[in-house]
Structure 1
Amino acid sequence: MKTGRTEKTPTRNRRAEILDAAAGLFAARGFHGVSIEDIGAAVGVSGPALYRHFSGKEALLTEMLLDISERLREQGARLATTADPDTAEAALDALLSGHIEFALTHPALIRVHERELDNVPEQARRAIRRLQRLYAEEWVTVLSELHPACPPARLRAATHAVFGLLNSTPRSAGELAPEAMADLLRAMARAALSPLGVIL
């Protein structure tokens, strides 16, 4: 049993290392500006050795974006389970904290998604978008508990507007310490959501 674990763990770690390195390179140079050899050099292996982990650059990009979309959806579902009439505020705080942490720790993934989703095969692209819609609906569910009179379309539009704010970190983070940036993003997101209590 121990032998099996020690054989598998390095493979998982190596895949994560490759994905992290590729995200940084794709964010900096663009998908078409990065070669398999570039990614291999970033993790200290030959380009061809990467084919033991991924069938090619497109497969690498696809797994990268599917993985983060699934992780966000799972996180959103878990955090939103507290969204009942008595704890919806706590659920919203948890969703905000979770997304802010993601935005501050993975700005390269945000940039890659913004720029490179069209380079993912259509079927996988649809799956990524579906996961993202499910994640957004977790926010809409929580917001509907806080603002039951607000139309769902307005809640959904507000959710995506807040995502745009929080996902600005590839351009806005850096000058402030992470803690200060997190506080600023949280305050701005809360301010952006405050008009939902006003029925128009």
Structure 2
Amino acid sequence: MVTVPSSPPPRTQRGRAKAARRAELLTAAARLMAERGFAAVRLEDIGAEAGISGPAVYRHFSSKTDVLDTLLLEISERLFTGGNEVVERGLAPTTTLVELIGFHIEVLVSKPDVIVVQDRDLPSLTPAANHRVRLLQRRYVERWIDVVLECAAEGELPEMGRDEARVRVHAMFGLLNSSPRLPPFPSSRLRPVLTAMALAALGARADE
């Protein structure tokens, strides 16, 4: 199993500098891969974009595939862990659903390049990373489905079975995850628009 281990923040100045360079490389990689596609980007391009010399890049990543694995594993872990944290707050089902939508939108707004890369370049992951990412995605979806069904049981959403809930959740993700490709729009106004669209995809009435 491939995963991104959680570790405490580096305490030394050298450790913090190394972590900052790694983050810069990942940000540069996401930007370039979103613009050009994974196949058209070299590891050297990523280093140049981040202002890091070619040999120094290899201190952080062994290949551009290693970079892609890290990018998509980290975003998948972030979504799954963050979604769980929302659900485990024990709020009312409708409140939980709205909080989940808000959390997902915040990730989209803060990491648009990574979302584009995930949507387009998932097949380029190594087999182990692909398996782990898809497992995390399935678990994330199932948490959403549980909440949607709880809302439906309380009459806050239309009555539906698990299969329909799964279709609605996937359709909602399709809407939300397309947001990085939308025309320019202020993020403060984009959030309520996307929230309304997400609720509509799940069957909420317009007045809710």
Give TM-score, length-normalised by structure 2.
Answer: 0.87
Cα contact 1:83–1:145 (8 A) shared by 2 = no
Cα contact 1:83–1:142 (8 A) shared by 2 = no
Aligned to 1:58: 65
Matched, 1:77 2:84: yes
Cα contact 1:82–1:90 (8 A) shared by 2 = no
Pairwise CA distance, 1:65: 0.3
Matched, 1:7 2:17: no
* Unaligned runs of at least 5 residues, structure 2: 1-9, 154-158
Matched, 1:150 2:160: yes
Aligned to 1:193: 202
Task: Give per-residue Cα distances to partners, 1:48-79, cap 9 Å, x unaligned.
Answer: 21000011111010011001000100000000
* Unaligned runs of at least 5 residues, structure 1: none
Pairwise CA distance, 1:44: 0.8
Aligned to 1:34: 41
Q: Distance in 1 between matches of 2:90 and 2:141?
A: 14
Give TM-score, length-normalised by structure 1.
Answer: 0.90
Q: Distance in 2 between matches of 1:28 and 1:172?
A: 15
Cα contact 1:25–1:39 (8 A) shared by 2 = yes
Matched, 1:159 2:157: no
Cα contact 1:173–1:181 (8 A) shared by 2 = no
Q: Distance in 2 between matches of 1:44 and 1:130?
A: 35
Pairwise CA distance, 1:186: 0.6
Task: Give per-residue Cα distances to partners, 1:154-188, cap 9 Å, x unaligned.
Answer: 111111111011111121151x2101111110111
Pairwise CA distance, 1:193: 1.2
Aligned to 2:97: 92
Cα contact 1:82–1:88 (8 A) shared by 2 = no
Is the helix fraction higher in 1 or 2? 1
Cα contact 1:27–1:108 (8 A) shared by 2 = yes
Identity %, equivalent residues: 40
Task: Give per-residue Cα distances to partners, 1:9-33, cap 9 Å, x unaligned.
Answer: 1111211111011000001011111
Change (3 A) 1:173 1:167: farther
Cα contact 1:104–1:173 (8 A) shared by 2 = no
Q: Work out which of the residue numbers 6, 19, 24 in structure 1 matches 2:26.
A: 19
Name the count of aligned residue pairs: 191
SS in 1 for 2:58: helix
Pairwise CA distance, 1:138: 1.3
Q: Distance in 2 between matches of 1:75 and 1:69?
A: 10
Q: Distance in 2 between matches of 1:195 and 1:98?
A: 18
